[in-house]
Amino acid sequence: MPKSPFDANFDGKVGDVVASVEGSNPAPQAHEAPAPLASSVAPKTSKAVAAAPAAVAAPVVVSEQSFDQNALGQLLKYLILKEGREAASSEQAEERRKQIQRQRDRNAKDQDSKILLKQARCKHLKGGKKGPKTQNKDYAVYQHRFIAFTEYIRCRICGMKWFHNDTVEYLEREDKNGRMRKISNHTKKGWREAVDMVDASTDTPSASESLPNVAPNATNLDAAGLKFENRFVDKETGEAIEGIQL
C-alpha cells in the first residue's frame, strides 16, 4: 500500500503511519526524570576540563578612587618639589643681589673717601704739582650764581664747593630728608676763605639766566623791560583798588 504522496495509487491516508511513530517513542511522564546523556559524551567533557589550566590568576582590578588618590599624591609631590626649587633659586638670587649691593656700597665709600682726601689735600692753586710759575697766587676757583640767587664757590681742580653758611669748622649740607645738617669741614676753609681765593683768582664768575622782575627788591618789569605798577581790580565792579602793595 502506498505510504507517500509521491507513490503511485496514494489514497491520502497517513493515520496508521503517525500512530506507529507515536507508539515507538512514547512521551515521558511528568514524574519521570529525563533520560541521562549518552555515555559517549562524558569522556569528551572530562578531556576538555582536563585540558584547561589548573589555576587561573585573578585579573588586577584598579578602582577609579584609588587611581585618583595616586594621581593627586603624585601631583602634590611634584608641586612641593617645584616650590622648593623656586624658593632656593629666589634665595640665591637675593643673596647675589645683596652681595653686589654691599660691594657697590664699599666702592662708593672708597670713592667718597678718595674724593674727600683729594679735597683736603688740594691747594686750589693753578700751576700743577710744581705750583704757580710766578710769585702771585692764582687760585683755580670761581663763583657761580643760580637763577634763585643762591651762590657757591667751586674749585676747578678738586670740585669742592663752599656755600654762604660754611665755616672753617663745619659745612652745612642738606640730608635725604631735606634738613640742613652740620658736618666736619675737611678742607679747613669756609666761605670767607673761599671769597679771598676768588678775589685772588683770574677766573671770571658765572651765573645762570637771571630774571630781573623776580629779584629781591627789584622793580616790576614787563616783557619789553618797561616798568609797570601793580593794579588790583575788583572783578564785580571793575574798579581799581587802592592801597594794596606786594
C-alpha cell at 14: 497517513
**pLDDT value at 131 more than 60:** no
For residue 120, count other CB atoms closer than 10 A to its CB.
13
d(CA 62, CA 74): 17
Q: What is the pLDDT of residues 196-208, one digit of tens each?
A: 999 999 999 988 8
pLDDT of residue 172: 92
Q: CA 241: distance to chain centroid?
A: 61
* Burial of 105: CB neighbours in 10 Å, binned 0-12, 13-18, 19+: exposed
Q: Which range, 56-70, 194-208, 229-243, has the best average confidence (pLDDT)? A: 194-208
CA–CA gap between residue 198 and residue 208 (Å, rounded): 18
| Closest among 242, 239, 212 to 229, alpha carbons compared | 242
- As a residue count, the chain comes to 246
Say how many Å lie between the first and final Cα of the chain, rounded.
Answer: 160
13: cell is: 491516508
d(CA 88, CA 71) in angstroms, rounded, equals 26
* Span 74-128, pLDDT tens digits: 888 889 999 999 999 889 999 999 989 888 888 888 888 899 999 999 999 988 6
**Grid coordinates of 24:** 515507538
pTM for this model (two decimals): 0.47
pLDDT of 192 above 80? yes
Q: List pLDDT tens digits, range 22-44.
A: 455 555 454 455 555 444 444 44
Residue 145 phi, psi dihedral angles, 5° rounding: -120, 130
